[in-house]
Amino acid sequence: MCMNRAGFNRNYIFRIGWFVAFMLLVMTYWWVMTNFVIPDFWDPQFGLKRDYLLARLKENPGHPLWLVMGSSRVESDLRLVQVLDRMQKKNAPLIFDFGLSGSDLFRQYICLQRLMKDGPKPQLVGIEISGPLLHNEESYFVNSPNLVVRARRDEIDEYCSFSKQPALTRSIWERSRIDPTYKYGMKLPHQTRAFRLIPFPLVWRLEKHFYDKWGWVTVPPAPISKEEYDRGFKITKSYFGNLPADFKVSRNNERALRGILDLCKKSQVRVFLVQMPDSRDLQALYTSQQSARIALFLQQIQKDYDVPIIDASSWLTDPADFTDGSHLNATGVAKFTPRFVDEILKFSK
């Protein structure tokens, strides 16, 4: 009886040992794959855009690379497939939409740093300026837990330097790298690269892609019903409205923008700034004093860096061209894209 019990205990301990060893192996595999093997596992939006960009460069060798960076407004408003004829001419620039949803100036700064370091390096880059949001002292990407985890290992110090709570920012990032069950890790928005953890060939083809070949994300067709537009504009108003009466450009936004311009100067990359279209409903939310302060700030930036600005904010103002007063619908995109591309092609002259 005692021998049977002893044998049972040894078998039980043996099984537990194998289970623990298996779990340690799985954890080690996950840690190595997510941190060292799968490119940009923690920032799948950036990774997808860069993959598409590299593919377009491979298809179009010899063309100088021009990037347009920014938020979802760039991401959805610039449909470059409409102007492929302009890019297929000899020595014409290859223009790519590198807009990423939610991107503020800090996010653009970080993404541009990556491209300068890892490639492909652009010859010209456009940076979106959203004037009303220049007063935001806090960047979503350094203060929102589900966005902090997008930082690379060599970027976390810079994230912390922009953060309101640097110790918390670092703690969130570190836990995401060692705990696969952490709610701000594997569950981060648009985590399409998890399929690459499965060790079977071509399983990554199951990934859901959000963009067309040139970085554009699909927008609703026109016309947009008034009810749908009003619902969208209500969200836009909560995001852009209620600006402080003593509006001023925040230190962190100015720091990020100057960081971008200094980086471009150091890397010998030409740069321009762009303001995207606003509907007249959205423009009505800004006071003359706020608009004047934004203009004064941009004038100072132009003076310090001799950087051109494309002010497209009033190119399209009819709500019929928008989905929510901020993002263009299909009709608006069709009007905006050719005009914008014609404008930036002037930089090649």
Domain that holds residue 92: 45-139+209-348
327 in a structural domain: yes
158 in a structural domain: no
* CATH number of the domain that residue 338 is part of: 3.40.50.1110
Q: What is the 3-state secondary structure (H, E, C) of the chain?
A: CHHHHHHHHHHHHHHHHHHHHHHHHHHHHHHHHHHHHCCCCCCHHHHHHHHHHHHHHHHCCCCCEEEEEECHHHHHHCCHHHHHHHHCCCCCCEEEEEECCCCCHHHHHHHHHHHHHHCCCCCEEEEECCHHHHHCCCCHHHHCHHHHCCCCHHHHHHHHHHCCCHHHHHHHHHHHHHCCCCCCCCCCCCCCHHHHHCCCCCHHHHCCCCCCCCCCCCCCCCCCCHHHHHHHHHHHHHHHCCCCCCCCCCHHHHHHHHHHHHHHHHCCCEEEEEECCCCHHHHCCCCHHHHHHHHHHHHHHHHHHCCCEEECCCCCCCHHHECCCCCECHHHHHHHHHHHHHHHHHHHC
87 in a structural domain: yes
258 in a structural domain: yes
151 in a structural domain: no
72 in a structural domain: yes
Q: For the whole model, what pTM was predicted?
A: 0.92
197 in a structural domain: no
97 in a structural domain: yes
Q: Per residue of the chain (349 residues), what is the pLDDT tens digit?
A: 455 665 556 777 778 888 889 888 988 998 999 889 988 999 989 999 999 999 999 999 999 999 999 999 999 999 999 999 999 888 899 999 999 998 999 999 999 999 999 999 999 999 999 998 999 888 888 988 888 999 999 999 999 999 999 999 999 999 999 888 888 776 655 677 888 888 877 777 777 777 999 999 999 888 889 999 999 999 999 888 777 878 899 999 999 999 999 999 999 999 999 999 999 999 999 888 888 999 999 999 999 999 999 999 999 999 999 999 999 999 999 999 999 999 999 998 6
How many distinct structural domains can be found in the chain?
1
pLDDT at 261: 98
